Amino acid sequence: MTPELLDRALIEEAAKKSGLVWVRAAGAPAARALWHVWHEGAVCLVGDGPGEQPLTGLADGGTAEVTVRSKDKGGRLVTFPATVSEPAAGSPEWEATVAELKGKRLNAPDGEEMPGRWARECRVLRLVPAGPTAPAPEGSLAAPPVPSPATTRRPIPAGLPKLLAKRREKRRRKEDLKK
């Protein structure tokens, strides 16, 4: 098997099993978590409408970087470049993509009317893999926490040890009475 076929198989298998991908549009400062479905060789998304996820920066003909996470552990599995395409509403490609998305959309307010609303008010996008997978990053990609005066560690109140000792003593007495 060639490296291209192995990359393609890894991308497809990871995207099929995960319901969430991280997408960074070309020129965007950070990636955004988006729910998706894998359909006919592409990550398919719906958004930019009322009650739907934002697809900021993703434009027809543009590029994006897609990172697929593990469904069970949440860690990064694979990152790949993708080309963005927006099928025309009502086209056979759009209909097939929407049929897949509709089956995976959770908590939709309008049920069977959803495809019509998507055609009127939303964008349906396909992110097609376009190149080899990115190598695994060196070190952690976690962002440092934002500075804050909030804290979770404080000294315990002076009276707490006595209070806890009294509770233990009461429990011990109850257990002794039961015997």
- Residue 70 in any domain: the answer is yes
126 closest CA partner among 74, 78, 71, 88: 88
Task: Return the higher-pLDDT residue of 83 and 76.
Answer: 83
- Residue 174 in any domain: the answer is no
pLDDT higher than 90, residue 23: yes
Which CATH number goes with the domain that contains 44?
Answer: 2.30.110.10
**Parent domain of 57:** 3-129
Residue-wise pLDDT tens digits, 107-165: 877 888 889 999 999 999 999 999 899 888 787 777 777 787 777 777 778 878 888 88
Q: Calculate mean pLDDT across residues 22-49.
A: 93
Q: Is residue 87 very low, low, confident or very high in pLDDT (cuts 50, 70, 90)?
A: very high
- Residue 175 in any domain: the answer is no
d(CA 155, CA 100): 54
Q: Is 115 in contact with 62 (CB distance < 8 Å)?
A: no
- Residue 171 in any domain: the answer is no
pTM: 0.75
Instruction: Express as a percent the part of the chain with pLDDT over 90.
Output: 51
- Residue 117 in any domain: the answer is yes
Domain count, the chain: 1
- Residue 102 in any domain: the answer is yes
